[in-house]
Amino acid sequence: MTAWTVRTGHGPAHPISGGRPTAGPEGGTRSRGRGTSRVFGALAGAAALLTLAYGAGVGVAAQESAPAAPGGHGAHDSHGGHGGHGAHGASAADPSRADDVAGAGGSSWMRAAGVFSPPGSFVPSDALTYDTRLVPAGARIEVTRFTGPSGTRVGARLHGLVPGRAYGMHVHTSPCGADPAAAGPHYQHRPSATADPVNEVWLDFRTDEDGDGRAEAVQDWNFREGGARSVIIHDRQGGAGERAACFTVPFGPEDSV
C-alpha cells in the first residue's frame, strides 16, 4: 500500500492535485488539494480494513533449524487419529509464503501457511474453501515438511474450523483450483498401488473445543520431484470423502517460492 504525504509550506505543486500551498489563517499554510487527499485517505483506510477482514498479507516465513530425522511411517494426530500420537505443538499459522531451508546431510525443511477464502475472492489465496460450513473463510492452515536421508515428515496445524469435528486430509498431486477436482488424486509413493497411510500421506485429525487441529505423518520415503503439490481437507476421515478445502503447498524444494 502506498502512503501519500501532503507537505505544507511554500514549495512545489502537490503531487496529486497539482495545487500549490497558500497562506492559512494563522500565517501557516494549507493545500488546495485537500479534497483529493481526503479521497485517497479514505481509499487507503478501506484497503486497510479489507486487509484486516480477510487476513491478507504476505510475509517471510521464519527460517527454523531442521527437526530430527523421520523414524517411521503413518499419520498421527493429537486427537485420536491414526496412531494416536500427538503432533508437535505450536502457535496458529500466520499468512505467509512458503520457505524452504536446506539442512545438513542433504535434508531440507519447508513451511507454508495460508488463510482460507472462497475461490474468486477479492483477495487471492493459495488456501481455498469449497464448503464454508466445514472450513470457514478466515480459517488458517500451516503445513511443514522435513525431508532427510531416512524419509519425510509432514505436519499440519489448523485454526478456526468447526469445534469437535473429525476431518480427513491427504497430500494431492496438483495445485488447488476453483474446481475441487483440480488438485488431482492422492499422492502415492508407488503409483496405482494401495490407497493407505503407508503408500500415501494421510493427515486425518479432530478439532478441539476451539476448532483447532493438528496432525503428522512420517514416511520412510521422499516425494518425487514435482509430484506433490497440495493438501485437501475432506469432510470425513479415511481414504475418501467430499473435498471441503484445499491448500497449495510446495512440498519439493524445486517448488518453493
CA atoms within 13 A on the CB side of 231: 31
- The stretch 151-180 carries a mean pLDDT of 98
The residue with greater pLDDT, 76 or 213, is 213
Residue 72's pLDDT is 52
Q: 188: how many CB neighbours lie within 10 A of its CB?
A: 19
- 20 burial class (0-12, 13-18, 19+ CB within 10 angstroms)? middle
Q: Are 117 and 54 in contact (CB under 8 A)?
A: yes
Distance CA 212, CA 113 (A): 15
pLDDT tens digits, residue range 173-213? 999 999 999 999 999 999 988 899 999 999 999 999 999 99
Closest CA to 159 of 217, 207, 225, 88: 207
Closest CA to 207 of 115, 84, 81, 112: 81
Residue 20's pLDDT is 44
Quote the cell numbers at residue 142. 500451516
Distance CA 103, CA 257 (A): 18
Q: Mean pLDDT, the chain, as a whole number?
A: 73
Q: What are phi and psi of 236, to 5 degrees?
A: -150, 160
CA dihedral 150, 152, 153, 158 (to 10 degrees): 180
Rg for the chain, CA atoms, rounded: 24
Segment among 80-84, 96-100, 109-113, 220-224 with least mean pLDDT? 80-84
Please state whether 34 falls in left (phi above 0), alpha (psi between -120 and 50) or beta: alpha
Band the pLDDT of 105: cuts 50, 70, 90. Answer: low
Closest CA to 230 of 140, 169, 189, 149: 169
